Amino acid sequence: MRFRRRVTIAPGLRLNVSGSGLSLSAGPRGASVTFGKGGVWGNAGLPGTGLHERFKLSGSGPSARGDRRVPSQRAIEAALLEEFLSCRPCLKVPLQGGPIAMEDGAGNRISPEMEAVAWKHLRASLIDQVEARCASVREGIAALATLHHATPAPKPPLAHRPAPFAEPEPPLPTPLPYHWLWKWIPWYRARIDRENEAARQMHSEQMDAWIAQRDAHARANAEAALRFAARDEGGDEGLEAFLEWHLATLAWPQDTSVDLCVEEDGRRILLDVDLPEIEDLPAGTPELRSRTREVRIKPFSDAAKRRLYAAHVHAVIFRLIGEAFHVCPAAKTVVASGYSQRQDRATGVVRDEYLLSVTATREAWGEIDFKNIDALDPAVALERFELRRKVSKSGVFSAVEAGQ
- Write out pLDDT tens, residues 290-323: 888 889 999 999 999 999 999 999 999 999 999 9
- If phi > 0 it is left, if psi is from -120 to 50 it is alpha, else beta; for residue 365 that is alpha
Of the chain, the percentage scoring pLDDT greater than 90 comes to: 47
Confidence of residue 183 (pLDDT cuts 50, 70, 90): confident
The answer to whether 255 touches 11, Cβ cutoff 8 Å, is yes
Does 24 score more than 70 pLDDT? no
pTM for this structure?
Answer: 0.72
Q: Identify the pLDDT of residue 180.
A: 74
- Write out pLDDT tens, residues 260-283: 999 998 899 999 999 998 888 888
| CA separation for the pair 212, 69 (Å, rounded) | 57
Mean pLDDT for the stretch of residues 143-155: 93
Confidence of residue 47 (pLDDT cuts 50, 70, 90): very low
Q: Identify the pLDDT of residue 106.
A: 84
The per-residue pLDDT of the chain, averaged, comes to 83
CA distances, 87 to each of 41, 42, 49, 125, 278 (Å): 21, 17, 16, 19, 41
DSSP 11: B
Between residues 72 and 157, which one has the greater pLDDT?
157
Smallest CA-to-CA distance from 309 within 334, 266, 265, 275 is with: 275
Between residues 140 and 51, which one has the greater pLDDT?
140
374, 379, 381, 383 alpha-carbon torsion, rounded to 10°: 180
Question: What is residue 19's three-state secondary structure?
Answer: coil
Confidence of residue 186 (pLDDT cuts 50, 70, 90): confident
Between residues 257 and 2, which one has the greater pLDDT?
257
Mean pLDDT for the stretch of residues 100-109: 84
Question: What is residue 60's three-state secondary structure?
Answer: coil
| CA separation for the pair 123, 121 (Å, rounded) | 6
Does 50 score more than 70 pLDDT? no
